[in-house]
Amino acid sequence: MNKAIIGRKLGMTQLFAENGKVIPVTVIEAGPCPVVQVKTLERDGYSAVKLGFGATDEKSLNKPEAGLFKKTGIAPQKVLKEFRMEDSNLEVGAVVNCDVFAAGDKIDVSGVSKGHGFTGVIKRWNNHRLKETHGVGPVHREVGSMGANSSPSRVFKGKKMPGQYGHENVTVLNLEVVRVDKERNAILVKGAVPGPVKGIVTLRNSVKA
């Protein structure tokens, strides 16, 4: 069965296993997520479930979203995400909680990575500095040689150059759920997940486990 939920990254901490080993974990506030819409193969051409997360005011919604919540009678939600679920038994109005996952489950976590703005090649691509000797410079953190001027007389596509770094969709595969705290709507995931603190992330069962 396909499982998914929307959450908010709260930060990182650590747990201790029974053998005393330290386990770094990311704490995610997951759910509750009401089912706002269910798409079927017959009506929409594919099967999917749209979940909501985070209560908000109706005035912050656009007209299509406001109409959807008014039609279903569900309280307005700040975040809406759609998940492909072919064998899901969820219906509109149902609520997905963090206990949909259990300790030991393998999941994929998606989010928008931290934005670093316009950065150079050293920070963006881990390039080396240029030699700080006579004849080199005056800039020692630049790209360096772009290629010979006789042949190929151009810069190849894919050349690692300065530019926008971060703030893009990232998915980390096969992370392990260490603990689920239903009372606090929290899921503790082993390792790091994309995005800044308070960033929105989506969790679903791993596709490559």
Helix (H, G, I), strand (E, B) or coil at 121: helix
pLDDT in the model for residue 67: 87
Taking residue 25's Cβ as centre, other Cβ atoms within 10 Å add up to 22
Taking residue 164's Cβ as centre, other Cβ atoms within 10 Å add up to 12
d(CA 175, CA 205): 10
Q: For residue 152, what are the contacts with CB-CB under 8 A and spacing of at least 6?
A: none
Q: Which phi and psi (to 5°) does residue 78 adopt?
A: -75, -40
Residues of the chain where predicted confidence (pLDDT) is lower than 50: none
pLDDT in the model for residue 1: 56
- Domains of the chain and any CATH numbers: 1-31+100-130+159-209 (2.40.30.10), 32-96 (3.30.160.810)
